[in-house]
Amino acid sequence: MEPIVNNGKHRKKGNTMNTSLRKPSMFVCAALGAVAVCALPVDAAVIDMEILSVTGDPNFDPATDSFFDANFHQGLAGMGMTQILTFFDNDGLWMEFEIKITRSAGSSGEEMVATDIDVTNNTNQHVPSMHFEIGMGLGANYQEYPGLAFKGLTSAFPPNELLGRFPNVSQNLPSMPTEIWFEGPPGLAPGDVADFWLAFKIPDSKFVNDMATITFRHHDIPTPASISLLGFSALLATRRRRRR
């Protein structure tokens, strides 16, 4: 199945940094690069969000580069994270955030949460594509979980990049996507900032004693020096087919 694609225009905001507390949306946000995690206006059941571990970026410190606000936006809770891209390895940069979400005692049902990610590119490489996933487990143990998925392109809270760096958005499944791709042009040039909104839902079955642990990860992919943009797009398409 081909990915569902959105080539529409996206809203802009004036200040690209430290604005996640004032998003003109109805969901709670947070700031990776600024990265950020937010909650949708379903209820106020989420009372805490904690980063248990981060892999892929030794410069990210959860103690100083993240925050939690129980009244983040319109009475909803959210977590903010701040990250600046400073390096890439041979396969770009994979980051995994293991996040514990706590809801109020006795709550039940699906919880809506989201990420608002401001990514600053402090490398000397252009980034034409970014890739996001939601699941559980880390590294080789990472896997999808039934019912844990992003809100899709046709939902009330579709994935967006708000500054026009990545106007082409696609997902791997039509209704319960677990992977989202953002692609340029123009992409993210050295020194630029991108602002991503991705909402996701956590099924009731994932909560044990009112706590759920999930893995949110993203892949920042620089332009390979020896591969043209056309060849790079073909490489991305090949990777997607292998993952389906």
Q: Residue 90 domain-assigned? A: yes
Q: Residue 124 domain-assigned? A: yes
Would you place residue 136 in the very low, low, confident or very high pLDDT band (cuts 50, 70, 90)? very high
Q: Residue 13 domain-assigned? A: no
- Residue pLDDT, tens place only, 99-122: 999 999 999 999 877 777 788 899
The domain tally of the chain equals 1
Would you place residue 223 in the very low, low, confident or very high pLDDT band (cuts 50, 70, 90)? confident
- Residue pLDDT, tens place only, 156-184: 878 999 999 999 999 999 889 999 999 99
Lowest average pLDDT, out of 9-23, 79-93, 128-142, 211-225, goes to 9-23
Q: Residue 14 domain-assigned? A: no
Q: What is the pLDDT of residue 25?
A: 37
Starting at the edge strand found earlier in the chain, the sheet holding 46-55 runs 4-6, 168-171, 179-188, 127-135, 211-221, 93-103, 46-55
Please say if the pLDDT value at position 8 is more than 50: no
Domain that holds residue 160: 4-8+19-243
- Please, how many CA atoms are within 13 Å of residue 107, restricted to the half-sphere of its CB? 26
What does the CA dihedral 218, 68, 203, 209 come to, rounded to 10 degrees? 130
Q: Residue 32 domain-assigned? A: yes
Would you place residue 1 in the very low, low, confident or very high pLDDT band (cuts 50, 70, 90)? very low
Q: Residue 65 domain-assigned? A: yes
Residues in CB range of 160: below 8 A, 6 or more apart: 10, 11, 169, 196, 197
Q: Residue 139 domain-assigned? A: yes
Q: Residue 184 domain-assigned? A: yes
- Residue pLDDT, tens place only, 20-73: 333 333 333 444 444 444 444 444 588 888 999 999 888 888 888 878 877 665
Q: Which residue has the higher pLDDT, 235 or 71?
A: 71
Lowest average pLDDT, out of 43-52, 200-209, 222-231, goes to 222-231
Average pLDDT of the segment spanning 177-204? 92
